[in-house]
Structure 1
Amino acid sequence: MDAFIDRLDYPLYVVTVAANGERAGCLVGFASQSSIQPVRFTVWLSKENRTFRIAQAADHVGVHLLTTDQHGLAELFGGRTGDDTDKFASVAWTPKHAGVPVLDAATAWFVGRIVERSDSGDHVGLLLDPVEYGATASPSKGIFRLSDASDIAPGHPVG
């Protein structure tokens, strides 16, 4: 499979969540639109990270697109763990539907209601029904992708 997987360069997303008075967020690569009618989107969260643990008690999550010039934001959410860093302390964000923190700097975002959870091995898929969304003007840079994150070491153990 390496010959196939090594050729992928998919978009990366920041997923945020709030539940029981706690906030969390992480950079994810496993995500995709999964239905046209009704519109559905699925994100897969690693069972190893804090965002997954907080999302277990949540009904909604936020999904954010970044641009290639937002490497620092991607590094914060992908290269640090929320177990010892308040990722939201140094970024501008706004509580949206169900109190989900939405990053003000994201080029596009949506909050989705968790319709279903699916165990996929070391990740759990969250099937989302978008309930609120927004975007800035057309980005002047491209969307942040896997190749843009090659220098970001994961904030938690992988696998």
Structure 2
Amino acid sequence: MTDFDPFSDVLDGPMYVVTATSGGERAGCLVGFASQCSIDPPRFIVWLSVANHTYRVAREAAYLTVHLLPKDDRALADHFGTETGDRVDKFATVGWRPGEAGSPVLEEVSSWFTGRIEGRIEGGDHVGFLLAPVAVCPPIEGPLPPLLQYRELRDLDPGHPA
């Protein structure tokens, strides 16, 4: 097996909180593996760990909501990245509203979209959810805020192993 670390260690992408609902259950987690993957039609893929509670809810969901975290929102990243929905209701202490098909939209995050799940791709310990945008946040006025990056969260103790 080839050591992939020399390449992957230099990656420093934005961090997201992904939320889902299915069967009357809400879930959300911190995600570092996600990207736009098509321009026309617009598509985005988000990768969820199969060990994660959010994955188990998402595999039965019709929609996911993807929230892009600004640099100053470390507390929200900690909340969704260090707790597990297997033990706590992550939505009990954060403001949210139901979006498309009930998919939770976090009130304190200004950059988000909800996507219909178009397909799933097995990827080892993560599954990719291919999303077609159906609802998008309003445009941001003024300069765009800097984004919370992966390197700034390397010290988090995750609620589940990858």
- Aligned pair 1:67/2:61, yes or no? no
Q: 1:85-134: per-residue Cα shift (whole Å, max 9, x none)?
A: 11101100010111100001113000000000111110000000000010
Moved over 2 A (4+): 135-141
- Post-superposition Cα deviations, 1:59-88, rounded to whole Å, max 9, x if no partner, equal 100000111111000001011101111110
Aligned to 1:96: 99
State which of 107, 112, 115 in structure 2 corresponds to 1:112.
Answer: 115
Shift of 1:140: 6.4
Aligned to 1:132: 135
Match of 1:41 in 2: 44
**Distance of 2:141 and 2:122 partners within structure 1:** 36
Q: 1:150 aligns with which of 151, 154, 157?
A: 154
Say yes or no: does 1:121 pair with 2:124. Answer: yes
Q: What TM-score do you get using the length of structure 1 for normalisation? A: 0.95
CA contact (8 A) 1:67 1:139 kept: no
Q: Give the CA RMSD over aligned residues.
A: 1.2
Name the count of aligned residue pairs. Answer: 158
Q: Which runs of 5+ in 2 are unaligned?
A: none
Shift of 1:139: 6.2
User: Is the 8 Å Cα contact of residues 49 and 156 (structure 1) preserved in structure 2?
Assistant: yes
Would the aligned equivalents of 1:107 and 1:139 in 2 still touch at CA under 8 Å? no
Gaps of 5+ in 1: none
- Post-superposition offset of 1:155: 0.8
Tell me: CA distance 1:137–1:87, structure 2 relative to 1, closer, same or farther (3 Å).
farther
